[in-house]
Amino acid sequence: MTENNAVYHDYAVEQIEKLISIDSPTGYHYNVTAYLQEELERMGLEVRTLRKGGVIANLGGEGNPLMMMAHVDTLGAFVHYIKGDGRLAISNGTLNQNNIETENVRILTRDRKVYEGTIQLANASIHVNPDINEERKFTNLEVVLDENVSSKEDVEKLGISAGDFIMVEPRFRITESGYIKSRFLDDKASSGILLALAKYVSEHKGCLKRNVQIFFTVHEEVGHGAASGVTDDIKDILAIDMGCVGENLTCTERQVSICAKDGRGAYHFEMVNELIDTAKKNELDYAVDIYPFYGSDTAAALIAGRDVRHALIGSGVYASHGYERTHKEGVRNTFELALHYVI
């Protein structure tokens, strides 16, 4: 069965690359959600959008509605203020100061102009700075613009101001061995998988054993992605988000991870068991793990008062919130688990 679905596995990877190429730090989702809406409507699906930006499509099927969700907002930062020498001070959104230095970035202004730059340590030349090994903090990191500027006034003439978005270059690549490396696999890997699921269902009419809706959320990285959008008729929610890979966990990048518990507590016992049984029945490569420092859109929905069962699966992703890595096999296993859970 899974070999016959190779076209959908390939489509998922293609969509992951496409989605990652579209900047969408939390708070600026417009381009990526427009792309999602266009792609879903091309499949002939009914699509609706939320005021705060989320995109929902009904895949069809009858009864016992399930909502699958993945988020398309990513980590990012903001211009805090313009320094006297034309460098940009950083107000962190969700980035990590320990792995962001020397990354190329794009500055998005309020009138949607885009400028390039690099995040550097202030006074970054090792042959000049005696404190080059100081602890990295956002107070001593800055954006060096790739423009001929040397003063605050020079930068202001470009239209750059406090509150503009700092968007990090993701550096997407696929190795010959099948590894996918990029920033923002959390959670655009899962979003590509959801698009592949939508494509499969749109091309296999009547395959669903229940009603399935898919929800591409925004604002997940700041905690309220699915706080709205999950309607009263929904019985179950399944987040497809990154599976954790790391010390004391069993998952690898080649597997689909089924989360038993995260930093917000246990997932629904029976729903988790259903996913494990589905993985076993279809001979998928999977792992069950606990994610100690993690939260998902399911928690946002539950805290908002939704009376639903909840679970989470995802392709194993290493180095989360950094330069992340997964594998085509992890994407395949996650797609197949999501698919066979609903057909």
- In the structure encoding, which two tokens stand for residue 320, read together? 């989360």
How far apart, in whole angstroms, are the C-alpha atoms of residue 263 and residue 113? 39
Evaluate whether 88 touches 106 at the Cβ level (below 8 Å).
Answer: no
Looking at the DSSP bridge assignments, the partners of residue 289 are 259
Helix (H, G, I), strand (E, B) or coil at 61: coil
Provide the H-helix boundaries in the chain: 6-20, 30-42, 152-157, 185-203, 269-281, 297-303, 328-342
Q: For residue 221, what is the DSSP state?
A: G
Comparing CA positions, the residue from 222, 226, 236 lying closest to residue 268 is 236
- In the structure encoding, which two tokens stand for residue 35, read together? 């792309």
- In the structure encoding, which two tokens stand for residue 232, read together? 């009263």
Mark whether 220 is an active-site residue. Answer: yes
- In the structure encoding, which two tokens stand for residue 36, read together? 């999602």
How far apart, in whole angstroms, are the C-alpha atoms of residue 206 and residue 1? 17
- Choosing from 103, 142, 220, 336, the catalytic residue is 220
How many other CB atoms are there within 10 angstroms of residue 62's CB atom? 10
The tally of CA atoms less than 13 A away on the side-chain side of residue 13 is: 21
As annotated, the active-site residues are 220
